[in-house]
Amino acid sequence: MSTKNDNKEKLNFALGRENYKLLAIGFAIIVIGFLLMLGGKSPSPDKFSDNIFSFRRITLAPIVVLAGFIFEIWAIMKKPKESDKE
C-alpha cells in the first residue's frame, strides 16, 4: 500500500516546475536564432549571392542563439521557489 510520503519521493525532480518552463523558453529562443540563420540561397549554383552576408544571418542570429544559451544557464541555476518544492 502506497502512502503520501512514497508518492512525494517518486515525484522529486532536480528542478522546479518554473525552471522547466524557463528551459523550454530558452530552447525556443535558440530555435528562433537558428531559424534566423536560414536563407541566402543563390538562385543558380553558377552565381554567387551576397545574401548570405546579411545583418540578420551574420550578426543578429548568433546574438539571439548566444542569448538563448545564457538564458538556459540562468534557468538551470535559478533557485526554485518554496512552493515548487512541495
**pLDDT tens sequence across 40-54:** 788 888 888 888 889
Mean predicted lDDT score pLDDT of the chain = 85
Q: Domain total for the chain?
A: 1
- Identify whether 59 is part of a domain: yes
Q: Which residues, 6+ apart, have CB-to-CB distance to 33 below 8 Å?
A: 61, 62, 63, 64, 65, 66, 67, 68
- Identify whether 5 is part of a domain: no
Supply 70's cell numbers.
545564457
- Identify whether 29 is part of a domain: yes
Average pLDDT over residues 9-18: 77
Looking at per-residue pLDDT, the higher value among 57 and 42 belongs to 57
pLDDT at 9: 56
- Identify whether 55 is part of a domain: yes
pTM over 0.85: no
- Identify whether 33 is part of a domain: yes
- Identify whether 60 is part of a domain: yes
Strands (E), 7-67: none
- Identify whether 86 is part of a domain: no
* Cα 40–chain centre separation: 24
- Identify whether 3 is part of a domain: no
Domain that holds residue 31: 14-41+48-79
